[in-house]
Amino acid sequence: MQLLRTKRRSLVGSLFVCTLAALAVSVGATSALSQAGGVDDITVVSNRADLISGGDALVSVELSANPRSIRVELNDANITSAFAVRPNGRYEGLVTGLREGKNLLRVRPGNGVGRWIEITNHPIGGPVFSGEQIQPWECRTLNQGGTNPPLGPPVDDQCNAAAPVVEHFYRNAAGNAWVVYDPSSPPAAEAIQETTTDQGKTVPFVIQRVTGTANRGIYQIAVLVDPTKPITPWSTEQPWNRKYVNSFGGACSVNYRQPTVGDVRNVAQLGLGFAVGTSSLNTYANSCSDVISAEALMMTKEILTERWGPILYTIGTGGSAGTMQQHMISGAYPGLLNGLMTSLLYEDHWFQVVDSFDCLLLSRYFGLGGGGPFGPPPGWGDGSGNALFPNAAARQLVYGTNPTNPDAKCSQKIGFTTAELIADSTAGCAGPPNDPPWRWHPDTNPNGTRCTIQDYLKYVYGVGPDNRAPRPIDNVGLQYGLQNLLNGTLSKEQFVDVNSRIGGMDLDGVWTPARTAAEPGALEALYRTGRNADGSGSAYVAEIDARTNPTDVGFHPPFHSWSWRARIDRTLGNHDNNVIWVSRGGATPSQFDSMRAWLDAVYSDPSDDPLPDKIARNKPADVKDTCYASDAQGGPQDDLFCTGTDAQWQYYSHMRWVAGWPMELDHYKCQLKPLDRADYPGISFTDDEWAKLQEAFPTGVCDFTKPAVAHQPTIPWVTFADGPGGRPLGDAPTSHGPPSLPPAP
């Protein structure tokens, strides 16, 4: 939360100074201010004061008075004994016993007014800002396996375990493996490896690992510790460097059950002194929701802070859908992440849903798919294609992918995403035993739980009177293959046929002859709440995008790195804080070492410059856009395309680029213009062909010279606690003092 706190203080601090200046000219202002009695500020360290969870909060008080004269009250109860001047020199305490909802924390000298802050506490099982929780939800605390400890049965319907499990391990000198460490009977010193942190501390390689429940998921955090000394949030004797790495997992599933968590014991990162952790809700294969992922990250960081102390900076790491989460969280909930280590990059999630939608429609049109609802259209034979697009080379003119295998991308996406993302299914999502049935079925259970991604995000988009969530997918006016028609590689017959027969899909994933129209409210929510990552969050994070396979024509084509950069450039006017590494046979540097060097410089920069300036200025000279070609190909090059070598490549294209979408690939619904023969210079459509186009585009075709429908900037820190659509939380609460009086607790 370092970034958030810096930004908040800069804004709120300015307003507060202005307020004090105004008060200073009023009679008695100086006397009133003196009633604060040396209590200068109160800061909730573990999180925003309005987003606390689990009933406790780490609080720091700035004093200019004698600490012995200070009284701390929580809802009028004396909790002074929880506070003291700690080894770090600060007057701090871990406030426990917070009730759900609003709490009044007051710090004052004797009977003076002092200062106060309002703390809003939420259940450890959530939600905090994600809104109404997904139902049904199967508790699975007993299903933790592998190297994870048993958590015991859930104690409530929020799937909470009775208590977190605390373990200690050491890296043994003989076997170079993790071994259980018993603090009451430690092994001989020579049996334990030593490790040297990035701060130069050489210590026994012993870690503490904590596994527990939060937000109906499972979190796990590991930290380098000295078990012979106190482990407290204000300790100065522990080897932890106050830096944190949170991992994000890929894939996408709309599961309705508590997922298991992976082992976080990363030897290299822990050995350098970093804390390492994650929540099972940070893996999209477990829960395909960036809002819940953000909330889980926030709660995990709060737990880390309250147990071990404040975090200097947080690095996110993960590929594929792990990059979606990092981008969306950075934009929608800035401050939770400070550095992004991405690979197999995607811009965000919803564009991939649209991508799957197009793949399903086009594969059906082309006669591919092997039967079923998206197999060959009636009368088109055995799936070998239709007469106008008989081979991959012809289909490439619409797909826009690599000419060596244009069908690869869509064939993979169809197999992976048909059930979970687009088309509803009676078995497409995991959850409680289906007896009685809880999953949606069009005939036997029409009011059941649906398995599409928009229904999984109904706390964002809401539901209609039919209990179906609206879907911000649109192909009205979209001219598939347009660019290749205009450059002469796609015939007019092919263009007319694909656009007159492509059709769309209804909310149940059933093909329709009519195009699919997005619901305006869903589009607005998509943009406004950050489901579309617009690049705005990139100003406040450092990102290294390690593009390890630039010729991938399957599930992770490389164009995503460039469309993501285009969004950043459009929004910020530069990409100073975004670096792309392309691997073309040469070895790339350590992404982790480069990122920590970058952030170390940023967060040791003593200037008062804005954070985006610090990130750009402190980027190491060797952390830059580079194509890492092999030595035989010329070695590392500043040219990302490795031109001039036998490894030259391009990032290929995409079906929506071919249809005219801008480079940023987030034009989810276009404004329309009338169909006009003059827009197709040199092309003479017959009257019959023109009539088919008029039927395909009765309201007009896309006009990409105009902004997308409902396009708007992301509003940071939106809460869905009051219902779908969300509302901005605004600035985080700060402490107050005279002449303001505290409210009744």
pLDDT of residue 275: 98
Average pLDDT over residues 204-222: 98
> How big, in percent rounded to 5, are the helix, strand and coil portions of the chain?
30, 20, 50
For residue 295, what are its two tokens? Answer: 């909330």
Residue 25 has pLDDT above 70, yes or no: no
User: Which three-class secondary structure string do you get for 462-522?
Assistant: CCCCCCCCCCCCCCCCCCCCHHHHHCCCCCHHHHHHHHHHCCEECCCCCEECCCCCCCHHH
| Whole-Å CA distances, 173 to 96, 176, 188, 203 | 40, 6, 11, 13
- What band does 680 get if pLDDT is binned at 50, 70 and 90? very high
Mean local confidence (pLDDT), 363-372: 70
What is the reported pTM? 0.93
Residue 258 token pair: 């508590």
Query: Is the per-residue pLDDT at 6 higher than 60?
Result: no
Q: What is the pLDDT of residue 434?
A: 82
pLDDT digits (tens, 9 = 90+) for 384-397: 457 888 888 899 99
How many of the other CB atoms lie within 10 Å of CB of 419? 19
Whether the predicted pLDDT of 7 surpasses 80: no
Q: Which residues contact 573 (CB under 8 A, 6 or more apart)?
A: none
Q: Does pLDDT of 5 surpass 80?
A: no
Average pLDDT over residues 87-104: 97
Distance CA 141, CA 319 (A): 27
The pLDDT tens digits of the residues spanning 145-161 come to 778 898 999 999 999 99
What mean pLDDT value characterizes the chain?
89
pLDDT digits (tens, 9 = 90+) for 420-460: 455 555 556 888 988 888 888 888 888 888 888 899 999 99
102 by Cβ neighbours in 10 Å (0-12 / 13-18 / 19+) ranks as middle
Residue type for position 56: D
Q: Which tokens is 24 given? A: 């200073």
Predicted pLDDT at 741: 75
Distance CA 502, CA 514 (A): 8
The contacts of residue 682 (CB under 8 Å, 6+ apart) are none
Among 74, 118, 66, 112, residue whose Cα is nearest residue 93 = 74
Task: Return the pLDDT at 372.
Answer: 46
Peptide bond into 136 cis (omega under 30): yes
Q: What is the pLDDT of residue 30?
A: 42
Q: Which two tokens stand for residue 681?
A: 């210079």
Percent of the chain with pLDDT over 70: 90
Q: Which residues pair with 128 in a beta bridge?
A: none
Alpha helix stretches (DSSP H) within 199-271? 267-271
Sheet holding 178-180, edge to edge: 178-180, 165-171, 206-214, 217-224, 275-279, 243-247, 313-319, 339-343, 542-547, 578-584, 626-629, 636-637
pLDDT of residue 426: 53
Sign of the dihedral through C-alpha 664, 665, 667, 673: positive
- pLDDT, residue 171, reads 98
The pLDDT score that the predictor gives to residue 21 is 32
Q: Give the residue, 209 or 372, on which the prediction is more confident.
A: 209
What pLDDT shows up at residue 144?
81
Taking the CB of residue 365, how many other CB atoms lie within 10 A of it?
26
446 or 727: which leads in pLDDT? 727
CA angle, 150 then 153 then 154, to 5°: 120
To 5 degrees, how large is the angle CA 454–CA 458–CA 462?
115
Mean pLDDT, residues 590-603 taken together: 98
Helix extents (H) in 549-632: 559-572, 591-602, 611-617
d(CA 506, CA 391): 29
Q: Which residue has the higher pLDDT, 586 or 213?
A: 213
pLDDT band at 418 (very low <50, low <70, confident <90, very high): low
Q: Can you give the pLDDT at residue 509? A: 82
Mean pLDDT on 474-502: 96
The residues, any chain, with a CB within 8 Å of residue 389's CB and separated by 6 or more, are 366, 367, 395, 398, 494, 498
Higher pLDDT among residues 283 and 9, named by residue: 283
For the chain, domains (ranges, CATH) are: 2-122 (2.60.40.10), 141-343 (no CATH), 350-529+666-702 (no CATH), 536-637 (no CATH)
pLDDT at 466: 85
Please check whether residue 150 is in contact with residue 76, taking contact to mean a CB–CB distance below 8 angstroms. no
Structure-token pair, residue 735: 């402490």
> 505 has which bridge partners?
511
Q: How does pLDDT run across 515-534, given as a tens digit for each residue?
A: 999 999 999 999 999 999 99
8, pLDDT greater than 60: no
Choose among 33, 56, 36, 32: nearest CA to 44. 56
Look up tokens 């804080």; give the residue: 577
pLDDT of residue 441: 83
- Does position 32 have pLDDT exceeding 50, yes or no? no
Average pLDDT over residues 84-98: 97
Return the pLDDT at 619: 98
Does 273 score more than 60 pLDDT?
Answer: yes
Query: Contact 272/241 with Cβ under 8 angstroms?
Result: yes
pLDDT tens digits, 699-716: 999 999 999 999 999 999
Region of 66 on the Ramachandran plot (φ > 0 left; ψ -120 to 50 alpha; else beta): beta
Residue 43: in which H helix or E strand, if any?
strand 39-44
